[in-house]
Amino acid sequence: MSINLFVLSLVMKSRTKSMPVRKSEFSGTSLKKVEEPKAEKPRKFADVVKEIQKLRNKGKTVPEIASELKVSYVVANQVVLRSYKMTVRSEEVFDRQEKMRLGLV
């Protein structure tokens, strides 16, 4: 019985040990370093408002404008409607979203 336990312990130990990985020039990862794109400067709200107004005059809808200019629907809609009833502070919300879009937050 003790021989069986001894053999069993050897088998279990051999399973837990692994051979070291052989390093060669071909064993490197296939991933290549990708340079991060240079961060753009945040846009100014006044410039984006002008673009929203131009696109609206061309007949584009608010969702199309928002996706094209990469702004939220709420900000684009407030600019189009010139709504004072909404509680969002458009310029502050835009600044925050712009920083998030560029990864500066």
Q: Tell me: the pLDDT tens digits for 34-80?
A: 565 565 788 999 999 999 999 999 999 999 999 999 999 989 998 89
Write out the two tokens for 15.
Answer: 């399973």
Task: Classify residue 86: in a domain, yes or no.
Answer: yes
pLDDT band for position 90 (cuts 50, 70, 90) = confident
Write out the two tokens for 17.
Answer: 């040990």
| Full-model pTM | 0.56
Q: Tell me the average pLDDT across 80-96.
A: 79
Contact between residue 90 and residue 79 where contact means Cβ atoms under 8 Å apart = yes
Total structural domains within the chain: 1
Distance between CA atoms of residues 41 and 56, nearest Å:
25
| Confidence (pLDDT) at 21 | 61
Which range marks the domain in which residue 79 is found?
45-102
Task: Classify residue 76: in a domain, yes or no.
Answer: yes
